[in-house]
A = this chain, B = another copy of it.
Amino acid sequence: MQGNTLTRLTLALDAMGGDFGPCVTVPAALQALASNPALNLLLVGDPAAITPLLAKIDSDLLSRLEIVPAESVIASDARPSQAIRASRGTSMRIALELIKDGRAQACVSAGNTGALMGLAKLLIKPLEGIERPALVSVLPHQQHGKTVVLDLGANVDCDSTMLVQFAVMGSVMAEEVLGLTNPRVALLNIGEEENKGLNTIREAAAQLKAAPSINYIGYLEGNDLLTGKTDVMVCDGFVGNVTLKTVEGVVRMFLSLLKSPTSGPEQKQKRSWWLKWLGRLLQKRLSKRFGHLNPDQYNGACLLGLRGTVIKSHGAANQKAFAVAIEQAMQTVRRQLPERIAARLEAVLPKSD
């Protein structure tokens, strides 16, 4: 939209990652180039798989796109530690190296989460004061606002210090991306009383209460994820991943039920034309109403806490969803999130203890 007035921006895409590889990533890349004139893209992957998808493409788009060859791909189900050891020459690693070498300002991949996390930590390095980066996403809530949720699966085991670091990163993200002043931060727990939940959560609560720059509001439960009671929801990566996928599952189930107003084909034939028309009208209305909750609309979790921008797309993302992840990467770079988080961490976290 406002691309022309902005400085140029180059992103590296792991074109081979995800369940569908170039069939999804290349059309999504072209879609992003078409709507962002200031964008350049480096498509990392197998030229033989990518090139055929670029036939009949507008020369303007083609001029802002470059294929960076990669020999291999990290499998989605590979064990991260093994995948990282054997990562030389893979599309994911080369995409990350393009950031390291200063050729790209961010990278987007729909590949193996664990490998992306590990390689990003290795190549891009965590910010001073951050033990491990976290996967962050911004979910729409009931009050027409948004909630920053982290960690969504980068760290299966988290201690209280990590949860506090996540709270700081989430808070900066809410300020920069959602434009909120003094965003509310909550810990996801199984009750709102102070004595509830796991030890790590209670310890993190004590630390957050003592942190003057964090607007910590206490514990919230799973049912408050979409109510808008908090701007930042902090949890460990296991709980966050299960929770996010649960939300997606329920939303997709509702959307699919809305799309199929009859229970079987025999019923469909019996319906009169005006009922069918009504059904379509209704479906359109409801899709509009619930569309913002569609998981595709908020695809792209940011790997926060690194010295650069890495966006993880859902492995099963379709073209639209992968294009949303590319937009996420652009916004994260433009808002200088890593730099701002680094500055905030210095103010909040205790020095080298």
Residues on A close to B: CB < 8 A? Answer: 77, 79, 142, 153, 156-157, 188, 190-191, 193, 195, 197-198, 221-227, 235, 237-239, 241-254, 256-257, 278, 282, 289-290
* A190 contact from B193, B238, B254, B290, Cβ within 8 A: B238
Selected A-B contacts with CB under 8 Å, 24 pairs: A142-B256, A153-B190, A156-B197, A156-B198, A157-B198, A190-B237, A190-B238, A190-B245, A197-B238, A221-B241, A222-B246, A222-B247, A222-B248, A225-B249, A225-B250, A226-B249, A226-B253, A235-B242, A238-B239, A239-B239, A250-B251, A250-B254, A254-B290, A257-B290
In this complex, the member of A224, A237, A239 whose beta carbon has the largest number of chain B beta carbons within 10 angstroms is A239
Considering the chains assembled together, what is the distance between the CA atoms of A256 and B195 in angstroms? 31
| Contact B245 A242, beta carbon cutoff 8 Å | no
Considering the chains assembled together, what is the distance between the CA atoms of A248 and B198 in angstroms? 22
A247 in contact with B245 given A156-B197, A190-B153 (CB within 8 Å): no
B-chain residues with CB within 8 Å of residue A79 when the two chains form the complex: 195
B-chain residues with CB within 8 Å of residue A225 when the two chains form the complex: 246, 249-250
Query: Which B residue sits closest to A251, measured CB to CB?
Result: B250
Query: Which B residue sits closest to A281, measured CB to CB?
Result: B278
Query: Which B residue sits closest to A256, measured CB to CB?
Result: B142
B-chain residues with CB within 8 Å of residue A248 when the two chains form the complex: 222-223
B-chain residues with CB within 8 Å of residue A221 when the two chains form the complex: 241-242, 245
Taking A142-B253, A223-B252 as known contacts, 4 extra A-B pairs with beta carbons closer than 8 A to each other, sorted by chain A number, are A222-B241, A223-B248, A223-B249, A247-B250
* A223 contact from B77, B157, B246, B289, Cβ within 8 A: B246
A116 CB, nearest partner CB in chain B, Å = 13
Closest 3 pairs between A and B when the two form their complex, measured CB to CB: A222-B245, A223-B249, A222-B246
| Contact B190 A241, beta carbon cutoff 8 Å | yes
* A242 contact from B195, B222, B226, Cβ within 8 A: B222
B-chain residues with CB within 8 Å of residue A195 when the two chains form the complex: 79
Considering the chains assembled together, what is the distance between the CA atoms of A156 and B14 in angstroms? 39
In this complex, the member of A244, A250, A257 whose beta carbon has the largest number of chain B beta carbons within 10 angstroms is A250
Query: Which B residue sits closest to A289, measured CB to CB?
Result: B257
Considering the chains assembled together, what is the distance between the CA atoms of A225 and B243 in angstroms? 11
Considering the chains assembled together, what is the distance between the CA atoms of A155 and B117 in angstroms? 31
A8 CB, nearest partner CB in chain B, Å = 37
Considering the chains assembled together, what is the distance between the CA atoms of A173 and B275 in angstroms? 42
| Contact B243 A222, beta carbon cutoff 8 Å | yes
Query: Which B residue sits closest to A249, measured CB to CB?
Result: B223
B-chain residues with CB within 8 Å of residue A257 when the two chains form the complex: 289-290
A286 CB, nearest partner CB in chain B, Å = 8
A227 in contact with B249 given A156-B190, A244-B222 (CB within 8 Å): yes
Query: Which B residue sits closest to A255, measured CB to CB?
Result: B254
| Contact B153 A238, beta carbon cutoff 8 Å | no
Considering the chains assembled together, what is the distance between the CA atoms of A275 and B271 in angstroms? 20
A328 CB, nearest partner CB in chain B, Å = 21
